[in-house]
Chains A and B, each alone.
Chain A
Amino acid sequence: MTGALSAEWLKLRSLRSTWYLVGVVALATAGGLLLSWYAAHLWDTLPAARRAHLAVAPPTPLIQPVVETCLGILGVLALAGEYGRGTLRGTLTAVPRRGTVLAAKAGTVAAVALVLGLACVTCTTLGARALVGDRHIAGLTGPAMHDTPLLLAYAGAAVTAALLGLGLGAVLRSTVGAVAALVGIVHIIPMVVWHLPDPAGRWASSLVLDALPQQLVGLDNHNSVYGAALAPPAALAALLAYALLPLAAAALLLHRRDV
C-alpha cells in the first residue's frame, strides 16, 4: 500500500494539470483577499453613519465553489485521466489489486485536497482579518469568520469534492463526462433546487454540497439561497455520502470491469 501511495503521489505531482489546478485555487484565494482589501478600503472612504450598513459576502464561502470544482477535477483526472489511454492498464499491471489502486488514489487526492482546502480557508480568513483590522464590516468580521470548526467544515467539503470527482471519474470512465457530472452536482443542481416549492425546495437546497459546511457546525444558512434543514449529524452523513457513495460504486465497478 505504501508503494502504491508513493507511486500515486509521484504521478499526481508529475503532471502539469495538477499545478494548473493548484494555480487556479491560489488565484481564487487571492481574489478573496482582494475583495477583503476592497471592503476595507470602501469602509475607510464611507462616512461613519453609513459604515454600519456595509455588508459584504464572506470570502471563504464565496470562493468555495471554485475550490470544490478545481479539487473535484483533480479527483476526476486521477482516475478517469488513465482510462481511454492505456495508462490504467499499466497501473493495474503494476498493482493488480484494484482496491489498493483506488485506495491509494483516494488517499493522495484527499490529502492534497485537505492541504489545499485548509491553506485556502486559512489564507482567506487570516488575510481578511489582517486587512480589515479593527473595522466592523458585516460578513468579514463577526462570529462566522472566526469559527474554526466552520473553516474545517469548508476544508472537509473540499476533500469531499475531490473524492466525488475521483468516484465519478471511475464510474463514468471519461474525463469529459465526469467533469460535466461534477459541475452538474456542484453548480447546476444547486441553481435548480432552490427554485423548487417548499418544503421540497428547502430540503433539496439543504442537501446541496455548498450548503453542508454551515449546517455541519449548526449555523443557519442566512444570507444564502440554501436551506438549513439538516442537524449537524445529518449534514455530516450527507457530506460523507457525497464522498463515499460514488467511491463505493467505483470500487465495485473497478473490481468487475475488464480494462
Chain B
Amino acid sequence: MIEIRDLTKRYGGRNAVDSLSFRVEPGTVTGFLGPNGAGKSTTMRLLLGLATPDRGTALVTGRRYATLKHPLHQVGALLDPDAAHPGRTARDHLRALARSNRIPDRRATEVLDRVGLAGVARRRVGGFSLGMKQRLGLAAALLGDPGVLLLDEPVNGLDPDGVRWIRDLLRSLAAEGRTVLVSSHLMSEMELTADRLVVIGRGRLVADTSVPELVARYDRGVVVRSADDARLAALLRAERATVAPGPHGGLLVTGLTETDIGELAARHTIPLYGVARRRASLEDAYLALTAGTVEHRSGT
C-alpha cells in the first residue's frame, strides 16, 4: 500500500509537487501519468525518502520509508537506469545491494535470471544497452521480493519484446497481491498494463480513476448507419438521445447504448448497417485532461 497525503515539495520557488493526495492499493498495477516535469519522479523520490517534503506525508506500507530498517524486503524501486556504477559487474552491483539488506547472495543470481540477464551477470554495466540497464534496475527492485514496487519509466529503452515482457511481469506481480506503481508517459502502454490511473499535471492531481472510467468520461457516442437515417434520427430524439451527423455519414448518437439503438431500430423495422461506439483512446482522454498543464509545448 502506498499512501500520499497533501504532499508538497518546492523547488526554486515553484511547487514541483503541490498538495498531492492519492492511494495505491495492493493487487493492482497503478499507472502514474503526467507530462514531462509534472512531478512524477519527484513524487517517487519523496516516497523513497530521497528528498524531504515541505508539507504532507508519503507512506509505504503505512510507514515513512526512511524509518524502514531493511527496506528492500518491503519496497523495490527503479528510479534511474544509470543507477549502477559502470565499472561494476551486474552481479556485484546486485550483491552489494543485497548485502546491505541481509539478502543472501544467491538472490542476485536468481533475479538476474528472472530479468533475462543471467548471461551477462559478470559483465561490467558500462557496456550495457539502455534496455539491459532497465532490466538490471528491475532486477534490483525485485531483489528483496518486496510487496511494493515503484518503477519510474521502466519501459524506456526496451524493444517491443521487452515492453511485452515487462507488461506481463507487472501483471503477474500485481496478481501475486503486490502494490505496483509505474510511471510512464506512454498512454497506449498503460492502457494495456494498468488497472488504475493516477494522472498529475504541474504537481497536482488531475485524475485518480480506473482505465475504463477515464475512457468512458471522454465517450464520444455511437455511430449508426441505417437504411433511413432521417426517420431513425427522429425516433432517437424522441428517446431523448442527442443526434448529430456522423463523421463519415450516418448519425452520431449520444445518450443511448448500442443495445437501445438496435432494439429501437428493430421495433420500427429500420435495417441497420452498422453500430459502433466511438471510444476515445486513453491517449485522447489523457491529452484532454492534461491540456492545461503541459510544461514544454512545441511552437506549432
A96's partner among B65, B83, B89, B102 (CB-CB below 8 A) is: B65
Q: Which residues of A contact B77 (CB under 8 A)?
A: 93
Are A81 and B85 interface neighbours, CB within 8 A?
Answer: yes
Given contacts A85-B82, A89-B80, contact A96 B49 (CB under 8 A): yes
Given contacts A93-B48, A258-B52, contact A11 B87 (CB under 8 A): no
Stretch at the interface among A2-10, A187-195, A231-239: A2-10
Given contacts A3-B100, A258-B50, contact A96 B85 (CB under 8 A): no
One digit per residue, 1 when the CB lies within 8 angstroms of any chain A CB and 0 when it does not, for chain B 55-93 equals 000000000011110111000010110111111110010
Interface size on B, residues (CB 8 A): 33
Of all chain A residues, which has the CB nearest B140?
A90
Bound-complex Cα distance A6 to B70 (A): 14
A10's partner among B68, B83, B95, B102 (CB-CB below 8 A) is: B95
Are A6 and B85 interface neighbours, CB within 8 A?
Answer: no
Bound-complex Cα distance A16 to B85 (A): 11
B50's partner among A8, A81, A85, A93 (CB-CB below 8 A) is: A93
A148 interfacial by beta-carbon distance below 8 Å: no
Among A87-110, those with CB < 8 Å from B are 87, 89-97
B51 interfacial by beta-carbon distance below 8 Å: yes
Bound-complex Cα distance A73 to B34 (A): 42
Q: Which residues of A contact B248 (CB under 8 A)?
A: none
Given contacts A14-B92, A14-B96, A81-B85, contact A94 B101 (CB under 8 A): yes
Are B83 and A258 interface neighbours, CB within 8 A?
Answer: no
Bound-complex Cα distance A3 to B100 (A): 4
Are B79 and A93 interface neighbours, CB within 8 A?
Answer: yes
Of all chain A residues, which has the CB nearest B92?
A14
One digit per residue, 1 when the CB lies within 8 angstroms of any chain B CB and 0 when it does not, for chain A 70-96 equals 000000000001100111011111111
Q: Which residues of A contact B97 (CB under 8 A)?
A: 7, 90, 94
Are B50 and A87 interface neighbours, CB within 8 A?
Answer: no
Are A259 and B51 interface neighbours, CB within 8 A?
Answer: yes
Bound-complex Cα distance A3 to B73 (A): 14
Which of A7, A8, A17 has the largest number of chain B CB atoms within 10 A? A7
Interface size on A, residues (CB 8 A): 27
A49 interfacial by beta-carbon distance below 8 Å: no
Q: Tell me, rounded to whole Å, the shortest Cβ–Cβ distance linking A99 to chain B.
A: 11
Q: Which residues of A contact B51 (CB under 8 A)?
A: 258-259
Which of A7, A87, A96 has the largest number of chain B CB atoms within 10 A? A96
B100's partner among A4, A16, A81, A89 (CB-CB below 8 A) is: A4
Bound-complex Cα distance A3 to B71 (A): 13
Q: Which residues of A contact B89 (CB under 8 A)?
A: 14
B185 interfacial by beta-carbon distance below 8 Å: no
Are A86 and B71 interface neighbours, CB within 8 A?
Answer: no
Q: Which residues of A contact B86 (CB under 8 A)?
A: 85
B71's partner among A7, A82, A94 (CB-CB below 8 A) is: A94
Of all chain B residues, which has the CB nearest A256?
B52
Bound-complex Cα distance A6 to B71 (A): 17
The 7 closest A-B CB pairs, nearest first, are A86-B80, A7-B100, A258-B51, A14-B92, A86-B83, A90-B83, A7-B99
In the complex, given contacts A85-B85, A94-B100, what are 16 additional A-B residue pairs having Cβ atoms less than 8 angstroms apart? Answer: A3-B70, A3-B102, A4-B100, A11-B85, A14-B96, A17-B87, A85-B82, A86-B83, A87-B84, A90-B79, A90-B97, A92-B49, A96-B68, A258-B50, A258-B51, A259-B51
| Interface, chain B (partner A; CB < 8 A) | 45, 48-52, 65-68, 70-72, 77, 79-80, 82-89, 92, 95-97, 99-102, 140
| Interface, chain A (partner B; CB < 8 A) | 3-4, 6-8, 10-11, 14-17, 81-82, 85-87, 89-97, 258-259
**22 residue pairs from A and B, CB less than 8 Å apart:** A3-B100, A3-B101, A3-B102, A6-B100, A7-B97, A10-B92, A11-B85, A11-B96, A14-B96, A16-B87, A81-B85, A85-B83, A85-B86, A86-B80, A87-B85, A89-B45, A90-B140, A91-B100, A93-B72, A93-B77, A94-B101, A96-B68
